[in-house]
Every structure is written in structure tokens, then in C-alpha cells.
Chain A
């Protein structure tokens, strides 16, 4: 069983640029959730994709957008980067269905630095 993978590991961008982060879900999982973790804070929910459609969104502006592909991998896109976007971005995948016991499995994260 392959775990959740994310790329790149680290990324440095400047204000105003755009960035794309990638996530491959664990084998058999069709749901991907994205979280932002600022330094010293817990992860904060950005949005979730289920079967290629957005299935819920946290309190993030529209410049945060995403995609999910037929193989259930996902991208997080951030436009017009701001300094406060500097954070660790985590991707989590979970099992199909709506079982009360489904678990989110996290990737190692992508560290984004905005200068």
C-alpha cells in the first residue's frame, strides 16, 4: 500500500506569484483534503475534493483553488501569493464512502515560503 505523497517538498516564491502543489492519494482513497499549517499552529482546513468535485471549503479566499484528477490525485493552486501564505501545506486522503470510521491519512507536506 502506497502512502500519501506530496511534491515539491519545499518551494520559495515571491509575492504576487502563483504556485501549484501536488498530492497523490493513498491507494484506494477517493477523497483528498488540503490543510494549511502556519508556524506554531494546528492545520487549518482549506477544502476537500471527492470524486473530482469540491466537497467543502474552509475560510479561505477564492485565490485558493484546487483540482482532483480521475486517478484521485489532486492539486492546490494559490494565486497572487501573499506573505501570510507562507506555511506547511498538508494533503490528506481518506477511504471511500461515508463510514464514521474513515481516517484521514496525511502526506509529509510542502513547505511554501513567500518572500
Chain B
């Protein structure tokens, strides 16, 4: 069965510092991985997906199949990046999402 692990429940960094949110997965097939973000009092929304190889709001994530990881990175954190971040893997006939437990990122001034 598939599994997504986010080892850090809480992560605090100072404004302008680099940030990395860790995500590891377990899946026997070819993974489709996503990062979702939830800002305070807002709904869950897609941040980026590995297949698009895009940078959104300065964030990037690289799929490392050898290490089964999909860490989210940003070189210079901003206060508006403070939010809950979820890593998710898509699989199954319904292409359902399996989420990690989330990392609450706080960017300090």
C-alpha cells in the first residue's frame, strides 16, 4: 500500500532563510506526487506537481526515486509562506490522493 511521510509537524525559519519541507513516499508503482498548501482560513489548494517541473511562488520540488523523496524547497522564505503544507501521492483506479500528515511552516520576521 502507498504511504506518504512528512517527518516534521512544525518548522520555523526566519524570513530570507532557505526552507526545505521533507516528504518521503512508499509506492510500488510509478509515483505522481503533489504538494498542497493551506493558508490560514483558506481551502486546500494545489501548490505544485512533480510532472510539471514548475516553480510556483519560488517553491520547487524534485522527485528522487532512489531516495523515494519529494522535498519542497525555497531559497528565500517569505512571511506569506507561513501555512500548512501537505505532500500527496496519486494512485489507484480513482487516482485518489494519499496525503502525509502535513508540516506547519512558520516564517518569522
Are the chains A and B members of one assembly? yes
Q: Chain A interface (Cβ within 8 Å of chain B)?
A: 4, 33, 35, 40-45, 47-48, 50, 55-58, 90, 92, 98, 100-109
From known contacts A33-B96, A58-B96, infer whether A103 and B46 are also in contact, taking CB-CB under 8 Å.
yes
**3 closest Cβ contacts across the A-B interface?**
A56-B94, A42-B99, A48-B94
Q: Which residues of A contact B95 (CB under 8 A)?
A: 56, 98, 102
**Contact B96–A42 (Cβ < 8 Å):** no
10 further A-B contacts with Cβ under 8 Å, apart from A56-B92, A106-B45, are A40-B9, A40-B101, A42-B99, A42-B102, A43-B99, A45-B96, A55-B93, A55-B94, A90-B44, A105-B46
* Pairs A–B under 8 Å by Cβ, sample size 23: A33-B96, A33-B97, A40-B9, A40-B101, A42-B4, A42-B6, A42-B99, A43-B86, A43-B99, A45-B98, A47-B94, A48-B94, A55-B93, A56-B92, A57-B94, A58-B96, A100-B32, A101-B51, A101-B52, A103-B49, A105-B45, A105-B46, A106-B45
With the chains together, A2 CA to B52 CA distance in Å? 25
With the chains together, A48 CA to B44 CA distance in Å? 18
Q: Which of A41, A105, A106 has the most CB of B within 10 A?
A: A106
With the chains together, A56 CA to B93 CA distance in Å? 6
Q: Which residues of B contact A33 (CB under 8 A)?
A: 94, 96-97
Q: Which residues of B contact A47 (CB under 8 A)?
A: 94
Q: Which residues of B contact A90 (CB under 8 A)?
A: 44
With the chains together, A32 CA to B45 CA distance in Å? 16
Interface of B is mostly: mixed
With the chains together, A54 CA to B59 CA distance in Å? 35
Chain B residue nearest to A55 in the complex (CB): B94
Partner of B43, one of A48, A50, A101, A109: A109
Within 8 A of A (CB), among B25-79: 32, 43-46, 49, 51-52
Q: Which residues of A contact B43 (CB under 8 A)?
A: 4, 106-109
With the chains together, A112 CA to B109 CA distance in Å? 36
Q: Which residues of A contact B101 (CB under 8 A)?
A: 40-42
From known contacts A42-B86, A90-B44, infer whether A104 and B93 are also in contact, taking CB-CB under 8 Å.
no
